[in-house]
Amino acid sequence: MKALYKVILSAGIIISVVICLWSVLFYFSTMREIDDETEDSLELYAFQLIQEKNEGKLDSVKYDGSNNSFIIEKITKEEASLMENMSFKDTNVFITARNETEPCKRLIVPFYDINNNYYKLTIYTPTIEKIELKERILFLLSLIVIILIISVISIYFAVYRKTFNPLYALLNWHRNYQLGGNKQTFPENKSNIKEIQELFDAAKTSTQRAEEAYQQQKLFLGHASHEIQTPLAVSITQLESLLEDESLNEEQMTKIFTTISTLRKMTKMNKSLLLLSKIENNQFNNKELTNINAIIHEKIDLFKETFSQKEINIKINEKDTLEIEIDNILCDMLINNLLKNSFIHNIQGGDIIIEINKDSLIFSNSGKPTALNEKMIFNYFYKESNEQNSSGLGLVLIKSICKKNNLNIDYQFIEKKHTFLITKN
């Protein structure tokens, strides 16, 4: 989730929770205040009626008004003793003047006059519709929440974009940056925020160090290649010259052949390791859209004589045209190593089946009757066979080329065939 959406979501949740809690508190506080005011008003009205009754000024013991209504009923002393001094209750009352039932607050007060006659005073006063008030408050608060959330999102979006625009510029530069590749101008920091300034400085310093280390590594690899390959080539040439000496016996010649074979393997391994290093350091950047179907046909024509040594049957199943954005040199290496791997680890009279789809390439070959260790086969120098021509780096090269060109490679053992599936990301 992007930081902007994370901030907006968090702010929205917090605001909603706060507003909900505040609305609950506001509702109950408002209702409590209304009840207190209503009860105070009823108490004053009750004292006034009792006083008028005791003074003989009250003309009627019953009154039905549009605002207040009361009833005075005579009761016994025992009944009065069982009653509370004041009893409030929310109820409904029929208002004769309005000809309708309204919610009201009721007050019952027992009292006695100067003649020790006991009475029960019941007063009704209309109050608010609590359900309607609750619905109204809920509607208004929902409206406030929506307005607040929209306002917060708009403000956050504007402020966030303005604040973090330099950071997005840095991220975009970093996505397109390739070590040792096409140089792109480091983005300018237009922010006065300290943390962003420090991040730009750290990124720039790290990039400069990486570029320096990369250039030093390239220089080292070039020298290492020359320093290692040259002695190996000289040694092989000298040993081959020794073979022309007729005074050598069979044992000596066998030892020389073995040494030459070992040196050639070392030469091959050194070239593979240097090649892997170049791939990892992005030294093959001349990518172009390549027709894999054509490359496969070309390579099979080149390897026909090699495959005939094991009488291997090759079948190509072209379901579609596969095109990949890849450097031509790496593309040749990829197909060469896939074909070589299928040949080296195959059996006499075996099969190689190549399936080409729009977004995938599948190489299947016969060979060892059991599955390979799929967790280990792409590791450096891993070999499950005693094949002398295998350096243990072929699949590592394939994996590295795929990784650098947004391709996935997986191994499966299907119908007694070793299958390598290459798919586009």
Same structural domain, 257 and 310? no
Which CATH number fits the domain that encloses residue 313? 3.30.565.10
Higher pLDDT, 19 or 360: 360
Model pLDDT for residues 104-118, shown as the tens digit of each residue: 888 899 988 888 888
Q: Which residue has the tokens 């021509």?
A: 389
pLDDT(384) > 80: no
Amino acid at 392: G
Once rounded to an integer, what is the mean pLDDT over residues 109-132? 83
Once rounded to an integer, what is the mean pLDDT over residues 34-44? 85
Helix or strand run (H / E) with residue 71:
strand 69-75
Same structural domain, 361 and 380? yes
Which of 59-63, 240-244, 354-358, 400-404 reaches the highest mean pLDDT? 354-358
pLDDT of residue 59: 64
pLDDT of residue 131: 74
Q: For residue 204, tell me if it sits in a domain.
A: yes
Same structural domain, 10 and 123? yes
Helix or strand run (H / E) with residue 406:
none
Residue 238 is part of which domain span?
Answer: 194-280
Band of the pLDDT at 355, cuts 50, 70, 90?
A: very high
Q: For residue 73, tell me if it sits in a domain.
A: yes
pLDDT(393) > 80: no
Q: For residue 174, tell me if it sits in a domain.
A: no
pLDDT of residue 365: 92
Band of the pLDDT at 225, cuts 50, 70, 90?
A: low
pLDDT(33) > 70: yes
What residues contact 239, with CB distance under 8 A and at least 6 apart?
A: 256, 259, 260, 263
Question: Which of 231, 259, 280 is the last residue before a domain boundary?
Answer: 280
Q: For residue 52, tell me if it sits in a domain.
A: yes
| Number of structural domains found in the chain | 3
pLDDT of residue 362: 92
Same structural domain, 246 and 351? no
Model pLDDT for residues 301-342, shown as the tens digit of each residue: 888 888 888 888 889 998 999 999 888 888 988 898 898 888
Q: By three-state DSSP, how is residue 349 classified?
A: coil
What residues contact 281, with CB distance under 8 A and at least 6 apart?
A: 179, 180, 214, 217, 218
Question: Which of 280, 296, 316 is the last residue before a domain boundary?
Answer: 280
DSSP result, 6-21:
HHHHHHHHHHHHHHHH
pLDDT(285) > 60: yes
Same structural domain, 121 and 54? yes
Q: For residue 15, tell me if it sits in a domain.
A: yes
Once rounded to an integer, what is the mean pLDDT over residues 269-275? 73
Same structural domain, 299 and 375? yes
Q: 127-135 contacts: CB < 8 A, separation 24 or more?
A: 127/34, 127/38, 127/90, 127/103, 128/34, 128/103, 129/103, 130/31, 130/90, 130/103, 133/30, 133/31, 134/27
Band of the pLDDT at 386, cuts 50, 70, 90?
A: low
pLDDT of residue 95: 67
Band of the pLDDT at 364, cuts 50, 70, 90?
A: very high
Kindly state the percentage of the chain with pLDDT values over 70: 89
Same structural domain, 244 and 318? no
Same structural domain, 291 and 261? no
Question: Which of 82, 104, 133 is the last residue before a domain boundary?
Answer: 133
Give the neighbor-by-neighbor strand order of the sheet with 87-95. 62-64, 69-75, 118-126, 100-112, 87-95
pLDDT of residue 391: 64
Same structural domain, 316 and 255? no
Q: For residue 360, tell me if it sits in a domain.
A: yes
Q: What's the predicted TM-score (pTM) here?
A: 0.49
Same structural domain, 85 and 125? yes
Same structural domain, 273 and 295? no
Q: For residue 168, tell me if it sits in a domain.
A: no
Same structural domain, 244 and 308? no
Contact 270, 228 (CB under 8 A): yes
Strand partners, 104: 91, 126
Q: State the distance between the two ends of the chain, measured CA to CA, in whole angstroms.
A: 21
pLDDT(385) > 60: no
Q: By three-state DSSP, how is residue 315 classified?
A: strand
Query: From start to end of 319-387, where are the E strands?
Result: 323-327, 351-356, 360-365
pLDDT(6) > 80: no
Give the residue ranges of DSSP H helices in 55-101: 77-81
The chain-wide mean pLDDT, for the chain, equals: 81
Q: For residue 139, tell me if it sits in a domain.
A: no
Model pLDDT for residues 396-421, shown as the tens digit of each residue: 888 888 888 888 899 988 888 899 99
Higher pLDDT, 180 or 16: 16
